[in-house]
Amino acid sequence: MALTILTTDDSKFQRNVIKKELTALLEGREITFFEASNGLEALSLLKSEKIDLMFLDLTMPEMDGYQVLGKIQEEGIDVKVIVVSADIQPKALKRVQELGAVGFVKKPMDGKKAEPIILKSGVL
Protein backbone atom coordinates (compact mmCIF):
# COMPACT_ATOMS: atom_id res chain seq x y z
CA MET A 1 0.00 0.00 0.00
CA ALA A 2 1.35 3.41 -0.95
CA LEU A 3 2.37 5.91 1.69
CA THR A 4 0.42 9.13 1.12
CA ILE A 5 2.24 12.36 1.86
CA LEU A 6 0.90 15.91 1.76
CA THR A 7 3.37 18.77 1.43
CA THR A 8 1.92 22.13 2.40
CA ASP A 9 3.93 25.27 1.71
CA ASP A 10 3.19 28.47 -0.20
CA SER A 11 6.54 28.04 -1.97
CA LYS A 12 6.50 25.58 -4.89
CA PHE A 13 10.29 25.43 -4.55
CA GLN A 14 10.04 24.27 -0.91
CA ARG A 15 7.37 21.69 -1.81
CA ASN A 16 9.72 20.34 -4.49
CA VAL A 17 12.66 20.21 -2.03
CA ILE A 18 10.56 18.19 0.43
CA LYS A 19 9.35 15.83 -2.31
CA LYS A 20 12.90 15.31 -3.62
CA GLU A 21 14.31 14.65 -0.14
CA LEU A 22 11.53 12.20 0.75
CA THR A 23 11.75 10.37 -2.57
CA ALA A 24 15.49 9.81 -1.97
CA LEU A 25 15.02 8.91 1.69
CA LEU A 26 12.18 6.47 1.07
CA GLU A 27 13.64 4.98 -2.11
CA GLY A 28 11.91 1.78 -3.12
CA ARG A 29 8.68 2.66 -1.30
CA GLU A 30 5.51 3.42 -3.18
CA ILE A 31 4.61 7.03 -2.36
CA THR A 32 1.68 9.14 -3.47
CA PHE A 33 2.32 12.86 -3.08
CA PHE A 34 -0.29 15.57 -2.71
CA GLU A 35 0.53 19.29 -2.59
CA ALA A 36 -1.18 22.32 -1.10
CA SER A 37 -0.05 25.94 -1.29
CA ASN A 38 -2.00 27.10 1.77
CA GLY A 39 -3.82 25.79 4.81
CA LEU A 40 -7.28 25.86 3.25
CA GLU A 41 -6.15 23.66 0.36
CA ALA A 42 -4.45 21.33 2.85
CA LEU A 43 -7.58 20.92 4.96
CA SER A 44 -9.64 20.19 1.86
CA LEU A 45 -7.18 17.44 0.85
CA LEU A 46 -7.08 16.04 4.39
CA LYS A 47 -10.86 15.67 4.26
CA SER A 48 -11.02 14.15 0.76
CA GLU A 49 -7.94 11.88 0.79
CA LYS A 50 -6.43 9.45 3.31
CA ILE A 51 -3.14 11.20 4.11
CA ASP A 52 -0.60 9.32 6.24
CA LEU A 53 2.00 12.05 6.72
CA MET A 54 1.88 15.81 6.28
CA PHE A 55 4.78 18.24 6.01
CA LEU A 56 3.49 21.66 7.02
CA ASP A 57 4.94 25.17 6.76
CA LEU A 58 3.93 27.63 9.47
CA THR A 59 3.85 30.89 7.50
CA MET A 60 1.35 30.81 4.65
CA PRO A 61 -1.42 33.02 3.28
CA GLU A 62 -5.13 32.41 3.99
CA MET A 63 -4.53 29.94 6.85
CA ASP A 64 -1.19 29.46 8.59
CA GLY A 65 0.29 26.23 9.90
CA TYR A 66 -0.79 26.88 13.49
CA GLN A 67 -4.39 27.28 12.35
CA VAL A 68 -4.15 24.08 10.28
CA LEU A 69 -2.84 22.14 13.29
CA GLY A 70 -5.69 23.53 15.38
CA LYS A 71 -8.29 22.46 12.80
CA ILE A 72 -6.75 18.98 12.54
CA GLN A 73 -7.11 18.61 16.32
CA GLU A 74 -10.56 20.18 16.42
CA GLU A 75 -11.92 17.97 13.63
CA GLY A 76 -10.15 14.79 14.76
CA ILE A 77 -8.35 14.26 11.46
CA ASP A 78 -6.02 11.25 11.66
CA VAL A 79 -2.70 12.40 10.17
CA LYS A 80 0.87 12.65 11.44
CA VAL A 81 2.22 16.19 10.96
CA ILE A 82 5.85 17.27 10.71
CA VAL A 83 6.35 21.03 10.68
CA VAL A 84 8.97 22.36 8.25
CA SER A 85 9.84 25.97 9.00
CA ALA A 86 12.65 28.49 9.25
CA ASP A 87 11.14 29.67 12.57
CA ILE A 88 12.89 27.50 15.14
CA GLN A 89 12.26 29.64 18.19
CA PRO A 90 11.59 27.59 21.36
CA LYS A 91 8.14 29.20 21.59
CA ALA A 92 7.25 27.97 18.07
CA LEU A 93 8.54 24.46 18.81
CA LYS A 94 6.49 24.26 22.00
CA ARG A 95 3.36 25.58 20.31
CA VAL A 96 3.43 23.09 17.41
CA GLN A 97 3.98 20.20 19.83
CA GLU A 98 1.01 21.36 21.90
CA LEU A 99 -1.03 21.42 18.68
CA GLY A 100 -0.16 17.80 17.93
CA ALA A 101 2.80 17.92 15.51
CA VAL A 102 5.04 14.85 15.83
CA GLY A 103 8.17 16.78 14.93
CA PHE A 104 9.86 19.87 13.56
CA VAL A 105 12.46 20.16 10.77
CA LYS A 106 14.30 23.35 9.85
CA LYS A 107 14.07 24.68 6.29
CA PRO A 108 15.44 23.80 3.85
CA MET A 109 14.41 20.26 4.69
CA ASP A 110 17.11 17.61 4.86
CA GLY A 111 15.75 14.09 4.54
CA LYS A 112 18.35 12.67 6.93
CA LYS A 113 17.20 15.07 9.66
CA ALA A 114 13.56 14.17 9.00
CA GLU A 115 14.19 10.41 9.03
CA PRO A 116 14.15 9.86 12.82
CA ILE A 117 10.95 11.92 13.11
CA ILE A 118 9.29 9.92 10.33
CA LEU A 119 10.31 6.66 12.00
CA LYS A 120 9.03 7.90 15.38
CA SER A 121 5.69 8.86 13.80
CA GLY A 122 4.93 5.20 13.09
CA VAL A 123 3.77 5.67 9.49
CA LEU A 124 6.40 3.30 8.06
For the chain, which residues make up each domain, given as ranges? Answer: 3-121
The pLDDT of residue 88 is 78
Fold designation for 3-121: Rossmann fold (3.40.50)
What is the reported pLDDT for 124?
Answer: 87
Question: ∠ CA(25), CA(32), CA(27), 5° rounding?
Answer: 25
The SS3 call for residue 45 is helix
Q: H-helix or E-strand containing 82?
A: strand 80-85
Ranges of the chain whose pLDDT falls below 70: none
- What does the pLDDT read at residue 89? 86
